[in-house]
């Protein structure tokens, strides 16, 4: 509970109530936590690893709309009051979570109103994230979208407990292109453009930001 941005400020009584229903579970790389259309049965709290949440488009492609990477992130929060999941969640690497049944969570909310307030905060945060993502897709060109993503990696670097010099990125080029709404060719061209202009340096594990100020300007369309 204390590692989660959402639950850390709850009272001891609320945390103890929730902990009675918590269970540890591990997922292997590429393993699904749940799939679109599955019955909504659990809320997941990320302990370690990274999870992508995505919708499958009619053409079979994935549209990633959320990355759960920071310990304490909630997964499936937006589906809590739905009968079935509207998206799929897949482990990008080895993942550990705590999970609790939705029915147990709802009972805890009845006993402790502050828990439901916390969940509303989580849903609002997720909604704002989706709105920013849609705005990026609708208003920015490929280089600006990529720059926004790199700024996100930079801003969450320490929260994800990464100490290496490069900003580790677990998404493949294919996955990143789908998330940014561009083709792989356009993505690679955008990466090379930022690299040739000495804004970033790349290696097999991720990116090194060389000019943060300029990258921030690019991300806002300036």
Residue pair 40/82 in contact (Cβ under 8 Å)? The answer is yes
The whole-number pLDDT of residue 222 equals 73
Does the pLDDT of residue 42 top 90, yes or no? yes
Query: With 0-12 CB in 10 A as exposed, 13-18 as middle and 19+ as buried, what is 96?
Result: middle
Whether this prediction's pTM lies above 0.85 is answered by no
Does the pLDDT of residue 165 top 90, yes or no? no
200 or 6, which is more confident? Answer: 200
CA distance 171 to 16: 36
Q: Can you give the residue ranges of every domain in the chain?
A: 12-136, 141-219
Does the pLDDT of residue 184 top 90, yes or no? yes
The whole-number pLDDT of residue 98 equals 94
Residue pair 44/76 in contact (Cβ under 8 Å)? The answer is yes
**Domain topology for 141-219:** Arc Repressor Mutant, subunit A (1.10.10)
Angle CA 153–218–211, to nearest 5:
65
Query: With 0-12 CB in 10 A as exposed, 13-18 as middle and 19+ as buried, what is 139?
Result: exposed
Percentage helix, strand, coil for the chain under 3-state DSSP, each rounded to 5? 40, 25, 35
The whole-number pLDDT of residue 195 equals 95
**Domain topology for 12-136:** Jelly Rolls (2.60.120)
Nearby residues of 136 by Cβ (< 8 Å), 6 or more positions away: 144, 145, 148, 180
């Amino acid at each position: 509970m204390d590692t989660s941005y959402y639950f850390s400020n709850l009272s001891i009584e609320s945390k103890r109530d929730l902990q009675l229903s918590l269970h540890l579970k591990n997922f292997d790389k590429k393993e699904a936590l749940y799939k679109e259309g599955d019955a909504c049965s659990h809320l997941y709290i990320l302990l370690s690893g990274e999870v992508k949440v995505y919708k499958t488009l009619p053409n079979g492609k994935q549209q990633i709309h959320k990355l759960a990477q920071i310990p304490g992130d909630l997964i499936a929060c937006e589906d809590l009051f739905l009968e079935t999941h509207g998206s799929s969640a897949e482990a990008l690497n080895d993942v550990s979570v705590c999970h609790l049944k939705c029915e147990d969570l709802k009972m805890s909310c009845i006993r402790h109103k502050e828990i439901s307030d916390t969940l509303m905060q989580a849903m609002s945060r997720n909604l704002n994230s989706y709105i920013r993502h849609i705005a990026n897709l609708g208003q920015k060109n490929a280089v600006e979208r990529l720059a926004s993503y790199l700024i996100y990696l930079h801003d969450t670097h320490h929260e994800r407990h990464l100490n290496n010099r490069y900003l580790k990125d677990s998404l493949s080029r294919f996955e990143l292109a789908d998330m940014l709404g561009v083709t792989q060719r356009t993505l690679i061209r955008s990466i090379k453009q930022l690299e040739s202009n000495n804004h970033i340096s790349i290696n097999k594990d991720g990116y090194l930001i060389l000019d943060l100020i300029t990258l921030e300007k690019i991300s806002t369309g300036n």
